[in-house]
Amino acid sequence: MLDKTIQNAMNEQIKNELYSAHQYLAMAAYCESVSLSGFASWMRMQAQEEREHAMKFYDHIQDRNGRVVLQAIDQPIIEFASPLDVFEKALEQEQAVTADINNLYALAVREGDYASQIFLQWFVTEQVEEEKNVGDIIETLKMSGEKNEALILFDRELGKRENEE
């Protein structure tokens, strides 16, 4: 049986993951609005990945005879100054999720919930990858100086992303 404290924290994490998905979809919409369909495609895939993460928490709660309680999701940011701004906000979002996952893991340790610790280890590893991927994109955008030619080529490159999960 899942401890109520961990159950409540995981329900909060479902909300956080769904908010991330919502935010990435808003970022995709912005990218589409400035004719960067490759960036938009990358963001849409990221949104799908975040929804899958939420469902992993959903399933873990259910598997442990807990109760999933869905919560309201906040309005995402919808306006951005540039493609670089989009990815800088994405990195901030990933860093916030990393902090949430780390706090959940620490809670599972304090509560002696070994099953949740094992479950959360996947997310700890995933967040390292997520922050690195977004950070690499930011560095490429900074190197390109957002020159039109470089931006168009990078947009095409990001559009080639395939679902890794």
86 lies in which domain range?
Answer: 4-158
In-domain check, residue 165:
no
Distance CA 92, CA 48 (A): 18
Residues 155, 38: Cα–Cα separation, whole Å? 5
Put simply, whether the predicted model's pTM sits higher than 0.85 gets the answer yes
Note whether residue 164 is domain-resident: no
Number of domains in the chain: 1
Residue 39 burial (CB count, 10 A): 27
* pLDDT tens for each residue of 18-63: 999 999 999 999 999 999 999 999 999 999 999 999 999 999 999 9
Give the C-alpha separation, 79 to 65, whole Å: 41
Residue 108, burial from CB neighbour count under 10 angstroms (0-12, 13-18, 19+)? buried
Residue type, position 40, single letter: A
Closest by alpha carbon to 83, among 131, 31, 17?
31
The domain that holds 53 is classified in CATH as: 1.20.1260.10
Residue 145 in any domain: the answer is yes
Give tens-digit pLDDT for 58-113.
Answer: 999 999 999 999 999 999 999 999 999 999 999 999 999 999 999 999 999 999 99
State how far the alpha carbon of 32 is from the alpha carbons of 11, 27, 28, 39, 131, in Å. Answer: 32, 9, 6, 8, 23
SS3 128: helix
